[in-house]
Amino acid sequence: MNLPQPPHLTHFDADGQAHMVDVGDKAETRRVAVASGRILMQPATFAMVRDGSAKKGDVIGIARIAAIQGSKRTSELIPLCHPIPLTRVAAEFDLDEPASAVRCTVTAETVGRTGVEMEALTAVSVALLTIYDMCKAVDRGMRIEDVQLMEKRGGKSGHWVAPGQSSAGG
């Protein structure tokens, strides 16, 4: 009886030692990743963010810059990530007034030998942490949740969309 082989973790060698994956033989292709997450807050905090009246300034504008900066620093933060040349990073913010929440969605792109999933996820995380940092003086109970990969395109594994999501196109 031939049972399917379980997937293996690529960041470990045959002896179980951590290593940086060799991508030297992989083809350079256009690679795109979309990640998202949200931060929930008190309604008064949400109003400050929405209205741009937070004491530290334009929370969403600063979070957008933080997302881009975070994506570019991913390989410095995640030990086995390759430094990659990003060709595009876009951070979008959606305000959900009924939930008093801000959703951040980041699209990261490159032409290279490895994907940009970690860059997109890091960008979302840094953006949401920046919102927390800028608003913590008035709301320490904010909660970051649902940080996840929504879609990836390119490379050997092709196109993947998170269950329950529709493709972002592109």
Give catalytic residues, as residue numbers. Answer: 133
CA distance 161 to 170: 13
CA distance 81 to 118: 8
8 Å CB contact between 152 and 33: yes
Residue 21 tokens read as: 């994956």
As a whole number of Å, the CA-based R_g of the chain is 18
**What DSSP state is assigned to residue 49?**
H
Residue type, 89: V
